[in-house]
Structure 1
Amino acid sequence: FGWGLVPGSPRIPKSMNVQVPLYPKCGFSELYSWQRQRKTKKEFCLHDGPPYANGDAHVGHALNKILKDITNRFHMMRDYVVHYVPGWDCHGLPIELKALSECEEDDLSPMEIRQKAKEFAEKVIEKQKSAFIRWGIMANWDNCYHTFDKKYEAKQLHIFHQMFDKGYVYQDYKPVFWSPSTNTALAEAELEYNQQHVSRSVYIKFPLLKPPPKLSSVIDGLPAVNLIIWTTQAWTIPANQAVCYMPNSEYSIVKCTNTGEHFIIASDRVQSTAALLDTQFDVISTFKGTDFENGMCSHPTIPGKQSPLLPANHVTMSKGTGLVHTAPAHGMEDYGVASHHQLPMDCLVDEKGRFTEAAGSELQKKAVLDEGNEAVIQMLHGAKNLLKEEKFVHSYPYDWRTKKPVIIRASKQWFIDTANLKSAAQEALKKVKCVPASGMNRMLEMLDRRTFWCISRQRRWGVPIPVFYHKTTGNPLINNIENIIKVVEQHGSDGWWTLPIEQLLSSDADSHDINDYIQGQDVLDIWFDSGTSWAHVLEGITADLYLEGKDQLGGWFQSSLLTSVATQKKAPYKTLVVHGFTLGEKGEKMSKSIGNVVDPDVVINGGNDHSTEPPYGADILRWWVAESNVFTEVLIGPAVLNSAREDINKLRNTLRFLLGNLASFNPETDSIPTSDMYLIDQYILHLLHGYATKVTQAYKEYDYGKVIRLLEAFHTRELSSFYFSIVKDRLYCEEEKDPKRRSCQTALAAVLDTMVRSFAPILPHLAEEVFQYLPYRKESDSVFRSGWMNTSPVWKKPGLEEAVEGACAMRDAFLGSIAGKNALEYQVVLVIEPGLLFELMEVLQHEECSSTSQLNEIMMASQTTLLTEVPREMATDDIIEGTFLINLEGGDIREESTYKVMVLPVAKLKCLRCRRYTADSTETPCARCREILNGK
């Protein structure tokens, strides 16, 4: 673009092509503190969902933290005081397991485990923090929150206390998701579903011991009758307490043509079950499910044990036999049936997922998901109650940390009664804005299905549930939690394990003897940990925004909502923004074995071999985040990053052109009033105003991809391809201080300032770098300390668009007719019928013929002639005709004008200075250049 041709133009170093951290010069480290001290009534609060402190920072972190930083910087530049306190989720099983994996000892005390887990978390936090700072994340990094902080833990227990007092916290013995691989209960948010899990499904006979009274007349004359049930979890059969049926469905008594045996199954399942058992069934009679009432079966593996037939609405006809084996200790729906009919809920499985002594010597100590399952199948086979076994591929819950299958197992746990809380939570959620809106529906549906929240975990690294148990009866006692909160404020949650019980349990203890009690050993679910962060961090205010990945719809978004609604009857946030997950550039999951894991540190600094893993710099990482459609899955890989680098390089070239042509220009003293500027310069300001309005709106809607698209369209199409190509002659060839050149520089200064501010939240390093190279920069100038884009409504001027766009329509016709040729080698004759279009062109060119008019500059020819009719002597063979519609004052003035464009060879010679064909001799400059050079 020839910058450096103008006297005094700064030579911008090539280092501008290399991303170098600019923290000391840009003052990024002080920026958050600076903006917090500003006096303004507007505040924007983004509450940081705490990343988990169990590993290195990854691209998922980058996506999340950079989206938050773009949001914060945008609001800061718009004169909001930003409230943003970064934090970390520090407790929980993954950290405990990683800490223990680094330790050779097996038998550690609770305090030894806790100390090692804390040390591990602290190391991870420092590594992640340094990565976040390198990405340009604006925050007070000396004042973060951690869920293991004493004050945080105390506030968390305060919320627990409030919820307990309001009746939302209770203890119960019921089935929960249990992880044998980690020996603890899990919440639904801690599960992931393996769609390819293979179970050993079985079809089992339950001998009918006592026929239902309503069926006795049909069954009495028959030999033995068996009910058929189907299950994918054979290991739960020893815990069977009943067989359930659907009351309103139809059932059939059938005879097997192969064996002569009689069975009962749902009428809808007769054909499919017979085909699966490789036989045929003859239907003897049919009846309604209600006729099963008061029937009784024999247990298929335990002689003498009976299983009643009971009605249940969870029985379906979509698969199986329409009769469901019911083990209350191992199924949520089964538990509901057992509660209603007062059935036993004995659990025969221990914390490690092995059968207990109560299961019998054949099963004791066998893992239920392995040899225990095999043993039960063999017992069914031995009792001649196994009809068929087959492999069944289906979705099955796994522990999201160990990636191993879980079981459902009854145990005594602490719960939050979400059944009584969810209605209020849903109403509070409906007042919240969600981007995208689909996230709201998903979260409402999740809440609808949630009847309880298991908040107890059988681990050591966490905040203790402040409960004491009677040594003899095991009855729980929650007494004087306020005293425990004070202890935690002083000693942290370690005090629960290190201090004597006398210091924890109030002496009155409802007249109970302290010596009769021991502290509970369970800790609170980490979703309760992080879900109470609003109470500690927000200090009474409601966050304007929570911004996290879509997994938090069932996690942090939900736990924060439930704890807040329970204690302060409102949501802790006004808006939710939900982004997708990061994937490889072909849409595949990232995996070390595949080799497609993208490390943000390598993206910024490069890998061991820069030829294959080049250093891209932090702003390319940020550009990738902003340009992605973050509301779906976000792809990243070498091709994506190379494309981002090319896009930024194009932007940098535009910025270099702007900076180079603003040399020796000071907006304060050299600017031209808008009304005196060239119309093409006014027009670019008009476009700039529209650009700024659209960009601001896109930021408000969290649509940063749209910001990037608007930026790219503006700087490549409106500037580089259009405006710059038109004004280069005026910039390079007019006298340095000529008002015509100053007019263009006035526009360029506005364009540069507005454009840099528009991308500053996304590319903060580049924005500050540009400001450092401003020729008229003051020492204190910072793009982030001087506000948002400041465009003027004056730039939108009636008739301006029509004048320039009318000229451009004729220009396009001219350039289209000489495609691939030099426009300066031609002169153009424009013939326009008298009317509005002609009057507008006269504003751009007062005289009939000119090589220096505004109209000729737009046409980019060596000379332009403006006429109302075609001269008689001119050949009309190659005339280009067209029309242009002028629409003024909202449609009140509409006029369609015709025009003709005639392209002629130039009549003069090439000027060696400006390269236009306007000179009388090849030895001397043209008239315009001679005037400029006069005396030089």
Structure 2
Amino acid sequence: MEIREKARTFAKAAIEKQKSAFIRWGIMADWNNCYYTFDGKYEARQLRIFYQMYDKGLVYRSYKPVFWSPSSRTALAEAELEYNPEHTSRSVYMKFPLRAPSPKLASLLDGATPVSVLVWTTQPWTVPANQAVCYAPQSRYAVVKCSTSGDRYIVAADKGPSLASALDTTFEVISTFSGEDLEGGACSHPLVPGKVSPLLPATHVTVAKGTGLVHTAPAHGMEDYGVAAQHSLPVDCSVDEGGLFTAAAGPELESKAVLEEGTDEVIKMLQSVKSLLKEETLIHSYPYDWRAKKPVIVRASKQWFVKISDIKPAAQEALKAVKFIPGAALNAMTDVLERRPYWCISRQRAWGVPIPVFHHRARDECLINSQTVEHVAKLVEQHGSDVWWTLPPEQLLPKEVLSQVSGPDGLEYLPGQDILDIWFDSGTSWSCVIPGADQRADLYLEGKDQLGGWFQSSLLTSVATRGKAPFKTVMVHGFTLGERGEKMSKSLGNALDPDVVINGGQDQSAEPPYGVDVLRWWVAASNVFTEVTLGPCVLSAARDDINKLRNTLRFLLGNVAGFAPDTDSVPVDRMHVIDQYMLHLLQGLASKVTDAYKQYDFGKVVRLLQAFYTRELSGFYFSIIKDRLYCEKEDDPKRRSCQMALAQILDVLVRAFAPILPHLAEEVFQHLPYGSEPESVFRTGWIGTSSVWKKPGLEEAVEGACAMRDSFLGSIPGRNAAEYEVAIVVEPGLLFEIMEMLQAEETSSTSQLSELMMASRCTLLAQEPRQRPAGTTELAGTFLINLEGGDIREESSYKVLVTPATQEKCPRCWKYTAESPDTLCPRCAEVVGGV
């Protein structure tokens, strides 16, 4: 109980720390109503799911080899392992004397010369538990003679040369035969006098490594256990919970740690009986306990298992109705599920949910039924799972059962001490969050390591009890790497703390504070479905992106000041063409952004937004509307048209990035110059656009003018466009009619065409002028009009005649349209005079 109390205190503190971090990061949730796996109601639901599965025959108790952590003294599931690629093992080549050759093999041997089976293993400590040697029946084998010792060995035919090289000798092939010919043969156990190790066929044996003949210890290998089950071999385990040999292993080995001095002793024993041919060091990937960071072993013990084979077909079928992001994750999860032989769900720990089973004092019997489990579940629901350890056993059983299991010496059954695997804890979370029989979560989100963990345990428990997956969509992300692509981990000390990214480190010149939104923007911009890099360069780039966005927002906010949408709006069809064009682009942006969010493609959202605010807004629209915004009358319909477009752009833009940059979005909404009390952007709905905005024909008008504008601006690099006048000559036809939409009169300094060209004056002509002013530059080009999906196609040529401005610079609007440097141009004079 002391351990459980400390664990609970630790869990609560960790939850509060994580919760405050999530809130700081701008993650929205019902933080006052979270679910906790140690809550009594949650634990009770978990116990009922366990019994449902037990009642269906999907949960059983068996003596099997499982991954075992000597350092934690408990069984582990595969999801609790992490693989150390730099683990060092002491591997050995050893010989098992052939005791009785198979009938077919006997005909190939002279009977007088001894022959041994050659075996290789990376786990010498398991040799005392050997019960057989397995071969591949479809492979070819050979009897070879060692040139150094004269000994004869049986090895896989293809492995002869490489084995001879490994043993610093050469082999002479005496004869070859099929693996099937080994059937019925037997070897002598090298360390247990008189013990026979039969030669047995097995599907897991390959000739890819080793000798093609595999030492088989059913107590210490999953595949070995399968061979034992098939051939009724003993599964004797002489290794205890701490990874030490028991007395059953013999006096030389007793109390020695199997991975340390135990291995050393077994190798010495093999050497003393002349069975050892060679020992070498092997560096390879090996499973470690994810908590203790110490190597695990495979060890047979009595555990509780889920019969995955019975759930697997339904689980695989259920996955077909689940959307995976990215799609490849479906195959990855299916493969992990396919390879999983069984799920060990019992653990030998103090902190956790008890397996609600009572064990007989003397016999290997269990007591569990619907009455006992429901009684325990109700107690747990009311008081929490501590009752399993704090209440007398008599109170853990219902009265009607208690009378049946009480003998003269007291209660015959005692509560078991195993707890449920944490993946069973978390894997039943759907029952608490979405308890309805037909409910499924919209989204499960976790890292790719959970394809064999939480995603899978959630799927198996839900399919087992409800016949369906608990999720509609599964989103699988990769992991964060250092800026040079190196793995980040706490143990390596190179993990980047989000709090340091947000608030800065102790030395803020080296670790500046970037704020939450920079962290969120980096996540959104990254391809999170693979490994992503994080470091100062990446974060600085994200900060620069947001600064550009902030500048865009500042311009938008500043220029909608004095605009009241309810009274100052202009009907869309009466807006300037360029403003209508921007609404057309905005409608397309909103549609693409919405679709990208639906696909959880946040990187696409970022790219769409970046392109829009840097290219369409800052690089194009803002540069051409400043004259209209700053120099027309405040309430001029031209200016109101522009403000209406800016207000719509601001609204769509903020809603579009709000899920990624919630703090910036709220900040903008608090500074909107119109509306009543500021309202949260997240309480006002998603992006709203109008189908009226979609006007594909406008694209031809604006893009045609832009082609001419590009010709003009390209001819005056680095110069101020207002220092020039432009004449555009377009032959009569569709392009000329489109240009007339932008400028009705022949010459204007305030038309939409002149605004777009950014020149001081613009003239639109259907034919070239007879006379050209001195210094005129002629630019020629063509523009292809493509309307109605290609039904209307017309290529027109145009000329742009560029002439230095002939008038003076207006001191107010800075266009070269004034009679003298000291007087206002006609437009500005009218605006100022009317104030």
- TM range, smaller chain: over 0.9
Q: Which aligned pairs between 1:407-556 and structure 2 lie closer than 5 A?
A: 407-479=297-369, 480-506=372-398, 507-508=400-401, 511-513=404-406, 515-540=411-436, 541-556=439-454
Letter in 1 for 2:818: A
Choose from 753, 764, 770 the match for 1:872: 770
- Among candidates 671, 685, 693, match of residue 787 of structure 1: 685
Is 1:342–2:232 an aligned residue pair?
A: yes
Cα distance in 2 between the residues matched to 1:144 and 1:174: 38
Q: Distance in 2 between matches of 1:844 and 1:283?
A: 93
> Given the alignment of the two structures, is residue 266 of structure 1 paired with residue 156 of structure 2, yes or no?
yes
Partner of 2:98: 208
Shift of the alpha carbon at 1:516?
Answer: 1.7
1:330-364, CA deviations, whole angstroms, 9 ceiling, x for partnerless residues?
Answer: 01111011111111111011101111111111111
Corresponding position: 1:557 with 2:455? yes
| Equivalences for residues 607-622 of structure 1 within 5 A | 607-622=505-520
Question: Runs of 5+ in structure 1 lacking a partner?
Answer: 1-110
Could you tell me how far 1:211 is from its partner in structure 2?
A: 2.2
Task: Identify if the C-alpha distance between structure 1 residues 864 and 935 changes in structure 2 by more than 3 Å, giving closer, same or farther.
Answer: closer
Between the aligned partners of 1:594 and 1:239, the Cα distance in structure 2 is 38
Instruction: Label 1:593 to 1:550 Cα distance change in 2 as closer, same or farther (>3 A).
Output: closer
Query: 1:768 corresponds to which residue?
Result: 666
| Deviations, residues 812-859 of structure 1 (Å, cap 9, x unaligned) | 000000011111111111111110111111121111111111110100
Q: Secondary structure of 1:557's partner?
A: helix
2:806 to 900, 907, 915: 907
Q: Distance in 2 between matches of 1:168 and 1:279?
A: 53
Count of equivalent residues: 826
1:505 shift after superposition: 2.6
Cα deviation per residue 1:305-330 (whole Å; 9 max; x = unaligned)?
22111111111111111111110100
Q: Deviations over 1:412-443 (max 9, x none)?
A: 10000001111110001111111100000001
In structure 2, the residue matched to 1:920 is 819
The CA distance in 2 between the partners of 1:474 and 1:282, in whole Å, is 55
Q: Cα offset for 1:768? A: 1.3
> 1:220 deviation in Å?
4.2
Equivalent residue number for residue 89 of structure 2: 199
The answer as to whether partners of 1:771 and 1:777 remain within 8 angstroms in 2 is no
- Which one-letter code corresponds to 1:301 in the other structure? L
Q: CA distance change for structure 1 residues 368 and 153 in 2, over 3 Å: closer, same or farther?
A: same
Q: Which residue of 2 aligns with 1:720?
A: 618
SS in 2 for 1:351: coil
Work out the CA distance in 2 between the residues paired with 1:679 and 1:508. Answer: 84
* Aligned counterpart for 2:39 among listed residues 149, 156, 165: 149
> What secondary structure is seen at the aligned counterpart in 2 of 1:195?
strand
Deviations 1:864-887 (A, max 9, x none): 111122222227983211111111
Q: Tell me if 1:693 matches 2:586.
A: no
Tell me how far apart the structure 2 counterparts of residues 118 and 694 of structure 1 sit (CA, whole Å). Answer: 47
Distance 1:490 1:916 in 2: 81
Aligned partner of residue 428 in structure 1, secondary structure? helix
Question: Quick one: distance in 1 between partners of 2:690 and 2:23?
Answer: 36
1:762 deviates by 1.1
- Deviation per CA, 1:561-583: give whole Å up to 9, x if none: 00000001010111111111122
Shift of 1:721: 0.8
1:482 to 1:592, Cα distance in 2 relative to 1, 3 A: closer
Q: Is the 8 A contact 1:242 1:326 kept in 2?
A: yes
- The amino acid that maps onto 1:932 is V
CA positional deviation for 1:630:
0.8
Is contact 1:596-1:637 (8 Å) kept?
A: no
Q: Greater CA deviation, 259-268 or 554-563?
A: 259-268
Find the counterpart in structure 2 of residue 934 from structure 1.
Answer: 833
Q: Distance in 1 between matches of 2:494 and 2:74?
A: 33
1:91-170 equivalences under 5 Å are 111-170=1-60
How far apart are the structure 2 equivalents of 1:501 and 1:737?
Answer: 84
Match of 2:781 among 882, 897, 918: 882
**TM superposition shift of 1:511:** 3.9
C-alpha contact 1:829 1:903 (8 A) present in aligned 2: yes
Structure 1 position 187 matched with structure 2 position 77: yes
Return the alpha-carbon distance in structure 2 between the equivalents of residues 550 and 935 of structure 1: 67
Partners in 2 of 1:578 and 1:674 — Cα distance?
Answer: 43
Q: What displacement does 1:605 show?
A: 1.8
Cα deviation code 1:674-727 (max 9, x no counterpart): 111111111111111111111011001100111111111101110111001000
- One of 118, 128, 147 as aligned partner of 1:228: 118
Maintained 8 Å contact 2:776/2:802: no
The Cα of 1:515 is off from its aligned counterpart by 1.6
Distance 1:595 1:840 in 2: 64
Map 1:578-617; keep pairs closer than 5 Å: 578-591=476-489, 596-617=494-515
**Aligned letter for 1:738?**
D
2:670–2:678 Cα contact (<8 Å) kept:
no
| Corresponding residue number in structure 2 for 1:796 | 694
Bigger drift between 709-718 and 864-873 goes to 864-873
The TM-score with structure 2 as length reference comes to 0.97
In the aligned structure 2, how far is the partner of 1:923 from the partner of 1:876?
26
* TM-score normalised to structure 1 length: 0.87
8 Å CA contact 2:376–2:396 kept in 1: the answer is yes
2:629 and 2:639 in contact (8 A); partners too: yes
Aligned to 1:857: 755
Deviations 1:52-97 (A, max 9, x none): xxxxxxxxxxxxxxxxxxxxxxxxxxxxxxxxxxxxxxxxxxxxxx
Check the 8 A contact 2:775/2:803 in 1, yes or no.
no
- Cα separation, partners in 2 of 1:217 and 1:746, compared to 1, 3 Å: closer
Letter in 2 for 1:587: G
d(CA) in 2 for partners of 1:634, 1:199: 33
Maintained 8 Å contact 2:669/2:678: no
1:100 maps to which residue?
none
Which residue identity is paired with 1:646? D
Distance 2:483 2:172 in 1: 57
Match of 2:754, SS state, is: helix
Distance in 2, Cα, partners of 1:373 & 1:599: 41
Of 601-610 and 298-307, deviating more is 601-610
Q: Counterpart of 1:753?
A: 651
1:509 to partner: Cα distance: 6.1
* 2:664 paired with 1:664: no
Aligned equivalent of 1:363: 253
* 1:813–1:771 distance in 2 versus 1, CA, 3 Å: same
Which one has more relative contact order, counting CA pairs under 8 Å at least 6 apart?
1
Q: What runs of 5+ residues in structure 2 fail to find an aligned partner?
A: none
More moved, 141-150 vs 595-604: 595-604
Structure 2 letter corresponding to 1:673: P
Task: Specify the code of the residue in structure 1 equivalent to 2:393.
Answer: I
Q: Cα RMSD between the aligned structures?
A: 1.5
Alignment match of 1:237 (pick from 127, 135, 155): 127
SS in structure 2 of the partner of residue 508 of structure 1: helix
Which segment drifts farther, 833-842 or 595-604? 595-604
SS in structure 2 at match of 1:287: strand
- Structure 1 partner of 2:193: 303
CA separation in 2, counterparts of 1:594 and 1:204? Answer: 38
Instruction: Name the residue aligned to 1:16.
Output: none
Paired residues of 1:604 and 1:616 also in contact (CA < 8 A): yes
Deviation (angstroms), 1:219: 2.6
Question: Counterpart amino acid of 2:384?
Answer: G
